[in-house]
Amino acid sequence: MDIANPSDEHNMLRQMVRDFVSEYVEPQALEHDKKEIFNHQLFRQLGDLGLLGLTVSEDYGGASMDATAVTIVHEELSSSDPGFALAYLAHSLLFVNNLEFNGSAEQKERILPKVCSGEWIGAMAMSEPDTGTDVLGLTTSASKNNDGTWTLNGRKMWITNGCIDDHGTPADVVWVYARTGTDAKGRAQISTFLVENGMRGYSVGQKILDKTGMRASNTAELVFQDCIVPDTNLVGDAGDSMIHMMGNLEIERLGLAAMSLGIARRSLHEMNKYASERVAFGKEIRNFGQIQRYIGESWAKYRAMRAYIYDTANSLSLGETGQRLDSDGVKLFATTAAKEIADAAIQVMGGYGYVSEYVVERLWRDSKLLEIGGGTIESHQKNITRDLSKSPESITN
């Protein structure tokens, strides 16, 4: 069995996305990276293909597919335009998948059809100007009012899809983590709110420009200033967020690993092709040992990434927790390997690899964020070490 295409349905999905990428994504990728423009119109076409609600029940307009399908789509999109793929991940995994598995029936019935079709664009707001990995250090707060509503105050930073255009329009709906008190042990109580465009006090602070990579996705600071949120927009009960967060981080990290795989595959393809086209000293440069090392090692890394990522995808259950060891493991390994393979491609292609018209320069820049976003590689090292101390049998099973 091909673990990357374990069923006819998965194979058909891959071919559909690959065709879409070839016809629509690839022609616009360079321009939108250069101009730092999010392709809003192209994004909505993903809704027409049923991809924006890939893991959502068909009752709400989704496709009811699994973690392997998630991996396929992120790999294929990222082989051409990782920035566009990141916007897709922020919407389809950080918001849509989160709502599918953690939202109330009313929240799902009201919001999921809109985000699955692409009518609304979603985001997730966790990081703050002074808080990233330290989730319990969040300062954004929410307090309950006498009428049952909540008042939300704080700022969120580095939010993909936080701003959807150049006019300061905020995301249509955002999954926001905020502090609502402390628990019996004195730790921060974190709760989740669905904040919708039009709610008083919700705005874009700034669109973040001049990023090294992922420039085709919009990144923004979001401001919540005495933002009034109805109690019906609280997800679960107050203090439930850590349960939501940990489960969804696992599929997010698999998605980011899949993006790394797409970057690695395209980089390998480009350097291999160039090694046959480029002639030096009367020979194709693939005949030289230095070039053979770059290509050979990149092939081995790519195949190792593919096997680990799809093995994890085939065993990961959506909406559940307790799968962190390998969701962290694939992201830790794949993100660094993708950066190394993109770097090797630039080295093989020399000056041509260093300029923007040749895709590997962009892939190299895009790859760096994957070592930071969705959990830093240092946090994965910590988590894996901690989990193996609790379950050392994982090594020998």
- Tokens 């990782």 locate to 82
How far apart are alpha carbons 20 and 30 in whole angstroms?
Answer: 16
Nearest to 18 by CA among 88, 79, 90, 83: 79
How far apart are alpha carbons 171 and 128 in whole angstroms?
Answer: 17
Q: Write the burial class of residue 106 (CB in 10 Å: 0-12 exposed, 13-18 middle, 19+ buried).
A: exposed
Catalytic residue among 252, 270, 361, 371: 252
Nearest to 46 by CA among 85, 3, 100: 85
CA distances from 74 to 28, 130, 197 (A): 17, 29, 27
Nearest to 125 by CA among 9, 222, 246: 222
Q: Is 252 a catalytic residue?
A: yes
How far apart are alpha carbons 232 and 196 in whole angstroms?
Answer: 12
- Tokens 């707001």 locate to 125
The answer to whether the CB of 372 falls within 8 A of the CB of 158 is: no
Tokens of 136: 């319990």
Nearest to 372 by CA among 25, 39, 86, 96: 86
How far apart are alpha carbons 29 and 198 in whole angstroms?
Answer: 31
The residues annotated with a catalytic role in the active site are 252
